[in-house]
Structure 1
Amino acid sequence: MNPALGQPIVYHPFGTPAPALPAGWVEHYTPTGQPYWYNTTTHQSSWVFPVAPKKKKQIKVILAELDIVRKKIPGTHWLFVLTADGYEFYYDRETKTSVWEMPKELEAPLEELKKLEAEEKEARKLQQEEEESKKRALEEEEVAAQEAKRLKLLQEEQEEATEMTEEDIMWQLQQMEGQESDTEGDIPPQEDVQEVAVVEEKEKKETKAELSEEERIQQFNTLLEESHISPFAVYTVEYPKLMTDPRFSLVPSNKQKTLFNKYCHALGEHIRQEKAKEAKRPEDEFKELLESKVTTKMYWDDFRRKYKDDARFKALPVTREREALFKAHVKHNLNKKKNPVEEYKALLRNTDIRKDTRWRDAKKLLENHDAYHAIEDKDKREDLFRDYLEQLQ
């Protein structure tokens, strides 16, 4: 059918040849032989045969990517600039001037630049091929893991279907009682055994009728607690230990496993929260707030007014201790003797900056950090930013 009309494409593996894959898509097969498709650009997989996007959207993407290209010429203070309209010029970063014609002094450096770019392009190509190979292997492993998980779930469902019901439990109890009677040399008639089973079943139903659903679940959980069930316990392993207790049968058999797993999950979460409370002292929580929010230009009154409702601020109840830790933190940061340029470069690496990020957008991400203001020269900030973009390309 026509993909331009939004209709699905039906893929016929026999008879008619498969349609061509759009650019960037690769076909793979699962261990069971089922095909799937992987996009090397978006790193996403699809069970549905991919369709090429419309031309209109492609044009918009291309136009959005057009921007000024700046290249630092090695060994010089010049930049080679290519505009969105295709014009080329040269920019001197020292004199802040631009020229249309290439200065003679740049002939050799430009040849060196072209050589370096060719080498980098080849290195990137090899790296990309290696990464794509690794990603394909990971995709295949993920598909294999999903298939194994599906088979495991299917097996568990089959096992659940064969779990013992109340009738099976009653039959097993009857057999156990019969074995005890054989040991004592007194074998009761079959009618007596059935009568006892009927009486026990009747008493059990009466007990259930007297209790609400909430009370039955509460007694079920009490049984699990008294049995010292761990958060990592497996239902099928613990089942034989619990089945003989009357509280276990208060819950319908089709809900026993669900309530068991719910209890284990809640117990594990409770233990994790208790350990987290023990691990963090109030002072540590307050220091964590200082590390994440305080700058060297912030005053105590501003900090207190802004974060007084933060749980980490309230964790330390004594105001004098808060202020003392705040001042010590600010003083420590002021005494740090680090290279401002290296600090600024580290800030660039730790910020969400991509190779297509514009300088005016990057400033909004950087201006709240001390390392940004440590570089007082505005032009130098931008030059270092441009150098960092070249490393990303």
Structure 2
Amino acid sequence: MQKLVIAGGGQAGFALAAKARSLRPDSEITLICEEPDLPYQRPPLSKKYLRNEMAREQLYLRPEGYYTDQGITLIRGHSARKIDRDAKRLLLDTQALAYDQLALTTGARPRRLPPAVGGDLPGVYYLRNLQDVDRMAPEFQAGRRVLVIGGGYIGLEAAAVAANSDLSVTLVEMAPRILQRVAAPETSDFFRTLHRTRGVDIREGIGLDRLERDKTITARFSDGTAQEVDFVIVGIGIEPNDALARDAGLPCDGGIVVDKYGRTSDRNIWAAGDCTRLPYRENMIRLESVQNAIDQAEAVAANMLGQETDYVPNPWFWSDQFDVKLQIAGLNTGYDRVVVRQAARGGQSNWYFQGERLLAVDAMNDPRGYMIGKRLIEAGRSPEQAQVSDPDADLKALL
């Protein structure tokens, strides 16, 4: 009987275990979760769960009985500490597990502010897991003042939830514009306007010098200004949890390096999800998305059990802010032109091109633009840019 051990109980770890069980009913599967909870979905944490619109049990990907019924051994509240590659054993904090095939689905962690800046002060929060949200939730009381540090999607989503909860919200971004690392100026402009019209004070091109704590928190900024707030949310990106692989001598480069099958340099060790760096077209990339975590994990499960099928990601992402649903298809890396298409009821889609080649689409309350753009990108087809920009042109005809 083949022993499959999966280190990491997030979305990728669960998807890998479930797929492996469906493909090989007789394999011995162990799923290790560092957190005490059952494997759960993360996107609702900062939205419905934080707003108390979703019960804890609704976050769980499956109830506890599922794992018993499927013969999946679930180890909760324990972490993997070391891989003994020669003996093919995974050492936990309390025991050692033998494996035939090992999958690393260790995910990522929030980037933290240095302690010298005040990153560890009481009232400074990072948003990644259930415990983070549980600690933060009591702060969300109408009239309180919150500072959000970071103008990426994590920070903007947190700012939107806080503003909807009638908090006074200030967001600072060190770069010249919000979303600078991930989106075109046209997308930044859309979300800047959205947030400001909902009362969020967005300040761009301003860094944080330090946080000071007394009865409240005083934030001192690079432009010499200061602001008193009740609490702080830090959303400055995430870092892959690749230390376990790196300490075992596996190649890591901003994530665990895997091949097109999801295999590391060790033929018996695999990886999937946010912790990986994987091939995409001519580059090695890291994809931070739920869908990639699921798709890559399922492909890895099949390959662990003997298939050799290339995993070809079809990147797509989403973000909910106020009453706007952003849907992103593709990756915009290398774009040199953005074509803007206005949609019904104030929606908009921004289409990224490199020369004549369509790379990606950002669709804000434009599900039709997103759907057609995604299908074109997956098919390797590029529409005429004049047709895209014409609001009267039928997008469906582009297919």
1 or 2, which has the higher helix percentage?
1
Q: Which has the higher strand share?
A: 2
TM-score band by shorter chain is under 0.3
Higher relative contact order (CA 8 A, sep 6+): 2
Structure-1-length-normalised TM-score: 0.18
